[in-house]
Amino acid sequence: MSQSSHASSAWYRPMLARHAGEDHRTASALELFFDLCFVAAVAQASSAFEHEIVAGRTLHGLLGYALVFFAIWWAWMNFTWFASAYDTDDVPYRLLTLVQITGALFMAAGTTQALEHGDFTVITWGYVVMRLAMVSQWLRAACTDRKRRRSALRYAVGILVLQIGWLVRLLLPHDGGTVSFVVLAIGELAVPVWAERAIGTTWHPQHIAERYGLFTLIVLGESVMAAGLAVRAALDTHKELGSVLVIALGGMLTVFALWWLYFAQDAPRRLRTQSTAMLWGYGHYVVFAAAAAVGAGLAVNVAHVTHQHALTDVQAAATYTLPVALFITCVWLLHRRAAQPSGKANVLPPVAALAVLATTFTAMYAVLFTGVIASLLIGTHVVAARREAVER
């Protein structure tokens, strides 16, 4: 029985490292609730990104989206890896997680203001609340897990110093906002590298793979919602209903294929060492951001065919094809060594990504053709896997 399952009613338990080979280690109900609260932040980021594109501020929107999504992803990622190693599920742990959830909701509330107007005040305070709760968690681990105390203290000190930096950043002139954000973001990325050098924490490969898979479902779900809202809008206004339905069909084909592609990978095999796991975990920033951007691109293309903005056909198509191609390429790069596919199968994803990019120039049919190409990619993978199984 897992530690979490029999500790759910405990007032307090020593925060000791969980065994990395623990049987039946799955996401807890609290972790699922935590993810649910991040749905709001992802949805707000995707919606604000779409608004910026439709308003003709594509580059501004892209920069804001990259910065905002980093804050969302990094806050989620840090909790996920910590919970994999130190989930005690006692009362203090739950209360501190509740504080982090509150911070996540503040982040969601400030996402639109940050992305559209460059005002990071609310999202920064929400982020800092989440991260200070993580400092408390790491200090708890340092007090009870003597073996990994150096790592826990490095995490606590590193995170605390950076939170001071994030608050100081709010006082800087607007012109220095992006540069200071990048510097602090690099610092955030460096903390786990520094802390894990002391002694590695005991994260669980299967648990981490499941948690990342669940967040992938969240961001892909935003695209499903975008398709549903697009169809509803077309039905309400009776504008270009046929074209909208074609886009919705292409969107659903794409999302289903992206889901299939992601979950066809054997992620735990990739998480064998600290260095490969860290590269895999960091690389998911692109996977998650691209998946959420697919929904925004889908909404942009619906708005385009219903004449709600002045983007060109190619510009509208690119808002969809670029994130899809990026998702396919990044998943391929993160898993190609662990999967050990045959030579022909290994070249399929990059070829499919290039084909998706080529559909950008098919104008209003780009979304449908992208869905078809993504579906063909999955079909060829299935056939290749079947042939390999027969040959064995």
Instruction: Walk me through the domains of the chain, giving residue ranges and CATH numbers.
Output: 3-8+26-198 (no CATH), 205-391 (1.20.1410)
pLDDT score for 3: 44
Is the separation of the CB atoms in 124 and 169 below 8 Å? yes
DSSP per residue over 238-278, as a string? -SSHHHHHHHHHHHHHHHHHHHHHHHTS-HHHH-SSHHHHH
Residue 34 burial (C-beta neighbours within 10 Å; 0-12, 13-18, 19+): buried
What confidence tens digit (pLDDT) does each residue in 333-369 have? 998 754 455 556 678 899 999 999 999 999 889 999 9
Is the separation of the CB atoms in 123 and 110 below 8 Å? yes
pLDDT score for 4: 43
Residue 129 burial (C-beta neighbours within 10 Å; 0-12, 13-18, 19+): buried
Distance, first Cα to last Cα, the chain:
36
Q: What is the mean pLDDT of the chain?
A: 88
Q: How far apart are CA 288 and CA 318, in angstroms?
A: 18
Structure tokens belonging to residue 222: 């935003």
**Residue 298, C-beta contacts closer than 8 angstroms, at least 6 positions apart:** 223, 226, 227, 230, 247, 251, 320, 367
Residue owning tokens 């107007």: 117
pLDDT score for 5: 45
DSSP-based helix, strand, coil % in the chain, nearest 5: 85, 0, 15
**Interval 298-314 mean pLDDT:** 84
What confidence tens digit (pLDDT) does each residue in 22-37 have? 888 889 999 999 998 8
**Interval 165-193 mean pLDDT:** 89
